[in-house]
């Protein structure tokens, strides 16, 4: 994964940064799911499986395919509050 993109973080409100940094295993979020078979990205409900420094490992709800999880940075624009994008 690439190094921290400070421009993304600088654009966030303190409240947004606080929410994102508070994510822990079991937290529910919306995240962009990537479907390699159809070359699509779509918002889906997900759960944080683990947090390793700045990296969140998330699994998508109701998805049994091999690409049903992703690793995303806490400051990624590809995550948002639960049930706001889907």
- Domain locations along the chain: 25-81
pLDDT for position 4: 66
Report H helices in the chain: 6-10, 14-21
CATH 2.30.30 fits 25-81, yes or no: yes
Please report the pLDDT score of residue 37 as a whole number. 81
Averages of pLDDT over runs of 10 residues in the chain (86 residues) are 72 95 97 87 95 95 76 95 88
Predicted TM-score (pTM) of the model is 0.85
Q: Which residues of 33-50 are buried (b: 16+ CB within 10 A; e: fewer)?
A: beeeeeeeeeebbbbbee
What is the predicted pLDDT for the residue at 81? 97
pLDDT of 6 reads: 78
């Amino acid at each position: 994964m690439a190094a921290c993109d400070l421009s993304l973080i600088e654009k966030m409100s303190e409240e947004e940064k606080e929410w994102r940094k508070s994510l822990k295993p079991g937290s529910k979020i919306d995240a962009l799911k990537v479907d390699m078979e159809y070359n699509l990205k779509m918002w889906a409900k997900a759960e944080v499986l683990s947090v390793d420094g700045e990296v969140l490992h998330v699994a998508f709800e109701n998805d049994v395919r091999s690409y049903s999880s992703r690793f995303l940075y806490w400051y990624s624009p590809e995550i948002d509050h639960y049930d706001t994008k889907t």
